[in-house]
Structure 1
Amino acid sequence: MPATVTGSAAGVTTARRGLGAFRLGIAVLEIVALVGNYEYVLRFPLFASVNFFSYFTIQSAMLAVVTLLVAAWFAWFRPRDPVWLGAFRTMVTVYLLVSGVVFALIAAQASSRDYRLDIPWSDTLLHFVVPLLALIAWTMDAILAVNPPVPWSTIGFVLLFPSVWLVYTLLRGAQIGWYPYFFLDETQVGGYGGVAAYCAMVLLIFVALTSVLVAVHRRLERRGLRQRIHRRRFEAEAADAATRADAASPGSPAEWLVGADRR
């Protein structure tokens, strides 16, 4: 029995180390995308570094790098992630996904208005590739069912960072006349009512997407936990059966002791 549990634990450890390497790889790819995107915008004569770091995509990407590095460490050196890390990783994954959705909407808006929008490789990584990989890593974590389930309170906490960013962006935009996204500029969306409508829609996307991820994670975690318990029970029963068979086989120590008693 102990050998069976040890074997199962070793399999989980190997899977977590692989997941840790995957998390690290995504973080490295995100850093490459950030550096590449920064070098790309440096080509524009009116470029301002403060504007670059004011984009929600850039801030959420930097947050994702830190989170993924911490998550990689836990995957390598701890048997499971803490509850707070699972919640934080879920929120960061949502931020990355929403950034991709908003960028796709902006690209569609630009094409409908016959406005040319260049999408360099760094933007492709930032808005599409990395969010997809982060979602895959998040799903793999849920399937392993080693970590505790993501708490429902994550749905409320997910709005903290976007809300603070929104207040900062609107106040700064009113002072300098620059906004990172068109729907935050009242002159482009028909006044502050249009800004409020767009912001409400984006915040609703945050809440809806987080709700889905939390529900999916908890469902996958329960199913994975049941499967792991069933597998361990089956392995334990098989080990007990093998032990009894060995004890009853001719020439075994147990059989020899029984024969010695009879003699």
Structure 2
Amino acid sequence: MVGPGEAMTQTHRLTALLIALLALGALWLQVYVGLARRPDHEVWQELWRLGRYFTILTNLMVAVTFAGIAAGHRSPPWWLAAVALWILIVAIVYHGLLARPLDGIRWWSDMAVHTFVPITVGLWWLALAPKDGLMPRHAVWWLLWPLIYVSYALIRGEFDGRHPYFFIDPHEVGWSGVGLWCVALGVSFWLGGLGVVALGRLLSRPSPSADGAPDGPQVR
């Protein structure tokens, strides 16, 4: 028979595999839809086009992270919390600022990367991820990926003339507007990170009976 600890490990790995496959499938669907709309594009051109988006890069990060878990790699709690935060921010920003009416396969394609993957990652983190050792300073560290992405997107946009989102497009909102949006989103990421830390610490707190204290009166 399989012991409780081993069973939990199998649950982690199986569910992580399913999430990795979902993220990879969502990314494949994005490529498929993009090529269908741009029949003159080669696959590498479509991959290069999609590579400008935070959504795509973060979904790829999810796929790699969860494929590693499925293969037996033990990701540290701070990294799992970071990935969960970043992909949930993808969903929040999309539905709050960027969502547009779509139908057919384009609807499924957008929902996959912006909704289905974030929900499954969030649920996995709540139910299965280790959460010990999360500290408020991690919320600051987790700003590094958005900072790297914004720097990359701005530099790339100045070279190829295409900025992926209106709020980091200096030709649409001006450089001052880009700065204000970056500050606002940075604060939102930081506050979200603090919320993840607080929730993680709450969920990882041992139950009253876990430290050996009796649950009730003992009969002697």
Corresponding residue of 1:52: 50
What's the offset of the Cα at 1:147? 5.8
**SS of equivalent residue, structure 2 residue 170:** coil
What's the offset of the Cα at 1:117? 5.2
Contact in 1 for aligned 2:17/2:66 (Cα 8 Å): yes
Change (3 A) 1:86 1:31: same
Query: Which structure is larger by alpha-carbon Rg, 1 or 2?
Result: 1
Match of 2:160 among 176, 180, 185: 176
Match of 1:214 among 197, 201, 204: 197
Instruction: Output the CA distance in 1 between the equivalents of 2:60 and 2:209.
Output: 36
Contact in 2 for aligned 1:183/1:195 (Cα 8 Å): yes
The answer on 1:71 being equivalent to 2:75 is no
Instruction: Output the CA distance in 2 between the equivalents of 1:138 and 1:33.
Output: 19
Contact in 2 for aligned 1:61/1:126 (Cα 8 Å): yes
Corresponding residue of 2:115: 128
What's the offset of the Cα at 1:205? 1.7
**SS of equivalent residue, structure 2 residue 52:** coil
Contact in 1 for aligned 2:17/2:67 (Cα 8 Å): yes
Match of 2:18 among 20, 25, 32: 25
Instruction: Output the CA distance in 1 between the equivalents of 2:20 and 2:90.
Output: 17
**SS of equivalent residue, structure 1 residue 223:** coil
What's the offset of the Cα at 1:202? 1.5
Instruction: Output the CA distance in 2 between the equivalents of 1:227 and 1:185.
Output: 54
**SS of equivalent residue, structure 2 residue 21:** helix
Change (3 A) 1:37 1:136: same
Instruction: Output the CA distance in 1 between the equivalents of 2:209 and 2:146.
Output: 37
Instruction: Output the CA distance in 2 between the equivalents of 1:227 and 1:122.
Output: 46
Instruction: Output the CA distance in 1 between the equivalents of 2:131 and 2:194.
Output: 18
Number of aligned positions between the proteins: 210
Corresponding residue of 1:255: none
What's the offset of the Cα at 1:175? 1.9
Unaligned 5+ residue runs, structure 1? Answer: 1-6, 76-80, 111-115, 242-263
Unaligned 5+ residue runs, structure 2? Answer: none
- Alignment-mate amino acid for residue 140 of structure 1: A
The answer on 1:158 being equivalent to 2:142 is yes
Change (3 A) 1:161 1:213: same
| Identical-pair percentage | 25
What's the offset of the Cα at 1:218? 0.9
The answer on 1:41 being equivalent to 2:39 is no
Corresponding residue of 1:138: 125
TM-score normalised over the length of structure 2:
0.83
Instruction: Output the CA distance in 1 between the equivalents of 2:85 and 2:209.
Output: 28
Corresponding residue of 2:188: 205
Per-residue deviation, residues 12-42 of structure 1 (Å, max 9, x unmatched): 4323321221111111100000001111111
Instruction: Output the CA distance in 2 between the equivalents of 1:71 and 1:152.
Output: 25
Change (3 A) 1:227 1:51: farther
TM-score normalised over the length of structure 1:
0.70
**SS of equivalent residue, structure 1 residue 188:** helix
Instruction: Output the CA distance in 2 between the equivalents of 1:101 and 1:147.
Output: 22
The answer on 1:102 being equivalent to 2:87 is no
Per-residue deviation, residues 203-229 of structure 1 (Å, max 9, x unmatched): 1221111111111111110135x4544
What's the offset of the Cα at 1:197? 1.3
Contact in 2 for aligned 1:107/1:117 (Cα 8 Å): no
- Alignment-mate amino acid for residue 118 of structure 2: P
